Structure 1
Amino acid sequence: MVNTESQQRTLPQVVAATARSLPERVAISDGPVSLTYAELDAARLQAARAFLAVGLGHGERIAIWAPNMWQWIVAAMGAQSIGGVLVPLNTRLKGAEAGFILRRSGARWLFTVGEFLGMRYPAMLSGEDLPDLQGTVLFEGDAGDDTAWTDFLARGDSVPLAEVEARENQLRPDDTLDILFTSGTTGQPKGVVTSHGQNIRAFATWSATVGLTSEDNYLIINPFFHSFGYKAGWLAAAITGARILPVKQFDLDAVLGQIHRDRVSVIPGPPTIYQSLLSHPRRADYDLSSLRLAVTGAAPVPVSLIERMRSELGFKVVVTAYGLTESCGVISICRPEDSAERISHSSGRAMEGVEMQCVDADGVPVPAGTEGEIWCRGYNVMQCYLDNPEETARTITADGWLKTGDVGVMDEDGYVRITDRIKDMFIVGGFNCYPAEIENSLHSMPGVARAAVIGVPDERMGEVACAWIVPAPGAALDEAAVIAWARENMANYKVPRFVRFVEELPMNAGGKVLKNELRQRMAAERG
């Protein structure tokens, strides 16, 4: 059963309640750092005092640009406890991409690390104009001219706890919890605004559906900047009292060792993670008997993989789910009792309290078994796109239906199978890629007159970008040069893996690029 009391709570109320009921339960284990729920609650309050000390106002934003780590959670919870709004940044973004989101959100403080996987985040922002940013705090690494995390926390020592409590008491479930930026077909990232109450209800419901409990040790591989790692990750764990095990960087041997050592029971992620576990040559050297629950999605899941996850990896529950950033990250989900065939061939049915339908081009529901655009309605639908009423009105109907832009087929039992995308989005290794955004970047490259981007199949990544470019007159471009420029100017998963040069792009009478024709050309070329 879903705890209906939690559905109308704020984040600080939920974390405090878990700390009261499970004070000695380990909340986070991150390398040498271990925090019980009582200690996590105390750390949250100390961070909240620090935010008050630097003057963070109700509704003001903080950004976090860092890999999965315990400080990420404490900073987010501290700001959210006093009405601050979380803006996560993808760790793969380049400086210009991160700068756009920082400006668009008006973030007052940025929390980051000095370096991760060769990316030096503070240095990447050196040329960006960030008029609203008051300061940068480093979770780890040499802070230099910025503020060290421990020094930031120390600023809260002079703030009475009563001030935090007063701000917490002012919070309401419909206050904004976070703004997650999602790319769009217009080429500019849009900020998705969602509230405390709707996220807590969504992931109390999600947790009850999949069976996440305080007995679970939850290995969170999905990045915290994504709703899967954040909301279906540490937020769901905080609601249920599960133990959070953040994974900073995926390494198969390290993951196997951690399953063995920490008695990991829950692993989420795309199918490739489970395929990698199954194919590891030394899998038998590790005790994987603690594995219990797998939540997957973002790519088709073969029936044979589900059966092997159950028989060889020992998962008792395997479920798939579907959602958007605009739906707090979840719309539909399979149920633990569903068959391997149903889990493989669908993305589940609407979760409790949410409606889902497939409609035709006029918004009229289509019969079961007929393809249509997937719409959803319920408490999980975003409040709006940040400062973008026009796009909000295009996406949410007057009677509250969210147009997902995905095409699917729903069966008689309400289970939906995603069949296509109305938009041109494609998925690279679990990350959504929007051609318009990549095209906009390529148009700023010297020598590029026009660019069109499509997704093409890739055995390892699912899909990768292929750029079709019309060079400017006299420009001397080649594939290597375009790819090298793209690596310098956009996140790695967006970088085209293939570049084709043409004198002109195929277009219809209205001037729209015929991307189906480009896909056909690429398919013919690759055989």
Structure 2
Amino acid sequence: MPSLNQNLYAALRAAFPADLDLTAIETGDGPGAPLHYTWRDLERGSAMIANLLASLALPPASRVAVQVDKSVEALMLYLAVLRAGHVYLPLNNAYQAAEIEYFVGNAEPAVVVCAPKAFGWVSKIAFQAGTPHVFTLGDDRSGTLLDRASFHGDVQDPVARRADDLAAILYTSGTTGRSKGAMLTHGNLLSNARVLKDYWDWKPGDVLIHALPIFHVHGLFVASHGALLNGSRMIWFAKYDPKAVLARLPEATVFMGVPTLYVRLLGEPGLDRQACRNMRLFISGSAPLLIETFTDWQQRTGHTILERYGMSETVMLTSNPCKAADGERRGGTVGFPLPGVGVRIVDERNLPLPPGEIGNIQVKGPNVFKGYWRMPEKTADEFTDDAWFKTGDVGRFDADGYLSIVGRSKDLIISGGYNVYPAEIEGVLNEMPGVAESAVIGVPHPDFGEAVVAVLVPRPGEPAPEPAAVIAALKGRIANFKVPKQVFVETELPRNAMGKVQKNLLRDRHQGLFAA
């Protein structure tokens, strides 16, 4: 393996333990569980798939689009694509035909891998778009990908890549128009993984519970790279079952989840300090963590969740401290910029704002993506003249440097000429009796331009909040222009696969509320 090879897989492989027959991954659920995969299995399995890809004589840096159920073999496929020098394109397994048609048409992958049950419709889309190769991969180790790979050798030298070469394209959720493919390089991913290994104090003997999907930054890069780069065993869950995860917590030291996973674990009577006795670190991200969840977790487990902030285009940007010497983990914040990452808060003219003032979050660093796939104008629009990336998020720094995310700039409500930040109102609503969580949106209004509307979810077992009483209570706590014109009570908020509230769907639902 050439020492100058900056292929991400080469760095991950160098971190494998000396004894390759140790367990790397143990499945906690799924067909045949528990299954034990050694480090040698990961090395050999990914080599065979990489050799299969090499046998197809694909152009260098071809895209490999993957829409499969979570499995260890799916992780091997990701590693194989890196090894083979191609570009990995993970797709949410909830995507339907129209979405897959767009992604395949836009990315023009040379290879598509799908679940066996989806082969009929996915292959039709792929072949019509000119994709020459379609394979299947099931979560039970079935499918043509593994069948074909079994005929290839289990030794392979990773194809030489530069740090600036593409490793993956992640399509953003596309809530404000066409989905954009964020181009991440080998260098982007490796630099971030190395920073997190140090900042989150990964130790020899750490064991990760991997309960996240692997079509997203959080599960595929942050969690998987973290364990692989530390030579750490993973306990692997294909589907999230809080009871099953709780049963394995005593064997683990690190857990990464979205807020919904923590809420569901809090619903388990067995969650207590004893269950978490060997845990070192609980990390939350991908969506805002309610302060109530943060506090309840502290009280039940004795652990303080570490909240961090990142996005598809940048991997991780900030984190609350891991080590006590670096400071406290402060609920409602996402901590400090990671080493080597620049974060600034600016006004509409890109001028820096002082601590305490709300503005647009812009970032810079080796983790920031190369641009949007085949969208040079969009890429240029999203970077400032001095090369800072405009995240589209709105936030503020506290006086002592902690960053708080106030919301997305597209979620900003301008009502009667005043700026209204939904997160501020949601923070007040979530403290009210009977309110489990809330979402605040802006909808068209003939007089104010936009009107503030709140959607509440009641707490189980408590009387549902009364909209008129909620509005009356808010009038005593926040400025009148921030008070919702209407409040709705619903059983749940619409969310995407990573637990983020889909406010675009709420806006669509209430679009005509104030129509003449």
TM-score grouping bracket, smaller chain normalisation: 0.7 to 0.9
1:332 counterpart = 2:318: yes
One-letter amino acid of the counterpart of residue 15, structure 1? L
Residue-by-residue CA offset, 1:201-220 (whole Å, 9 max, x unaligned): 10111122112234122112
Which secondary structure does the structure 1 equivalent of 2:112 belong to?
strand
> Equivalent of 1:224, from 192, 214, 217?
214
Write the mapping of 1:253-268 to structure 2, written as runs, cut at 5 A.
Answer: 253-260=243-250, 263-268=251-256
1:295 counterpart = 2:283: yes
For residue 134 of structure 2, what is the aligned residue in structure 1? 136
1:20–1:38: 8 Å Cα contact kept in structure 2? no
Q: Distance in 1 between matches of 2:54 and 2:109?
A: 15
Deviation at 1:367? 1.0
Which secondary structure does the structure 2 equivalent of 1:42 belong to?
helix
One-letter amino acid of the counterpart of residue 125, structure 1? V
C-alpha spacing 1:460/1:219, structure 2 compared with 1 (3 Å): farther
Q: Distance in 2 between matches of 1:460 and 1:179?
A: 39
Unaligned runs of 5+ in 2: 28-32, 413-421, 424-438, 442-449, 460-493
2:210–2:219: 8 Å Cα contact kept in structure 1? yes
For residue 67 of structure 2, what is the aligned residue in structure 1? 65
When normalised by structure 1's length, the TM-score is 0.73
1:358–1:365: 8 Å Cα contact kept in structure 2? yes
1:291–1:314: 8 Å Cα contact kept in structure 2? no
C-alpha spacing 1:142/1:299, structure 2 compared with 1 (3 Å): closer
Unaligned runs of 5+ in 1: 1-5, 115-119, 428-432, 436-451, 462-485, 507-527
Write the mapping of 1:251-330 to structure 2, written as runs, cut at 5 A.
Answer: 251-260=241-250, 263-283=251-271, 287-302=275-290, 305-315=293-303, 318-327=305-314, 329-330=315-316
1:10–1:200: 8 Å Cα contact kept in structure 2? no
1:210–1:319: 8 Å Cα contact kept in structure 2? no
C-alpha spacing 1:299/1:340, structure 2 compared with 1 (3 Å): farther
For residue 438 of structure 1, what is the aligned residue in structure 2? none
For residue 392 of structure 1, what is the aligned residue in structure 2? 379
1:173 counterpart = 2:163: yes
1:256–1:286: 8 Å Cα contact kept in structure 2? no
52-61 vs 16-25, which moves further: 16-25
Structure having the larger proportion of residues in helix: 1
For residue 125 of structure 1, what is the aligned residue in structure 2? 122
1:359–1:375: 8 Å Cα contact kept in structure 2? yes
> Equivalent of 2:391, from 391, 404, 407?
404
Deviation at 1:241? 1.1
Residue-by-residue CA offset, 1:172-222 (whole Å, 9 max, x unaligned): 222111000003465110000011112111011112211223412211222
Write the mapping of 1:120-519 to structure 2, written as runs, cut at 5 A.
Answer: 120-125=117-122, 128=125, 130-140=128-138, 148-157=144-153, 161=155, 164-165=156-157, 168-184=158-174, 186-260=176-250, 263-283=251-271, 287-302=275-290, 305-315=293-303, 318-327=305-314, 329-337=315-323, 342-424=329-411, 457-459=455-457, 496=505, 499=509, 502=512
Q: Distance in 2 between matches of 1:214 and 1:239?
A: 11
Residue-by-residue CA offset, 1:273-327 (whole Å, 9 max, x unaligned): 2232233134469844222211113444455644543453253x63111111111
Residue-by-residue CA offset, 1:91-127 (whole Å, 9 max, x unaligned): 211111122112211112222223xxxxx43344366
Deviation at 1:342? 5.0
Q: Distance in 2 between matches of 1:458 and 1:229?
A: 29
RMSD: 3.6
Which secondary structure does the structure 1 equivalent of 2:182 belong to?
strand
Q: Distance in 2 between matches of 1:69 and 1:182?
A: 23
Deviation at 1:81? 0.6
When normalised by structure 2's length, the TM-score is 0.75
> Equivalent of 1:38, from 13, 31, 40?
40
2:70–2:214: 8 Å Cα contact kept in structure 1? yes
For residue 50 of structure 1, what is the aligned residue in structure 2? 52
One-letter amino acid of the counterpart of residue 13, structure 2? A
C-alpha spacing 1:390/1:248, structure 2 compared with 1 (3 Å): same
C-alpha spacing 1:347/1:54, structure 2 compared with 1 (3 Å): same
Q: Distance in 1 between matches of 2:453 and 2:69?
A: 27
Which secondary structure does the structure 2 equivalent of 1:345 belong to?
coil
Equivalent pairs: percent with the same residue? 24
For residue 103 of structure 1, what is the aligned residue in structure 2? 105
> Equivalent of 1:17, from 9, 14, 28?
14
Pairs aligned (count) = 435
C-alpha spacing 1:342/1:291, structure 2 compared with 1 (3 Å): closer
263-272 vs 7-16, which moves further: 7-16
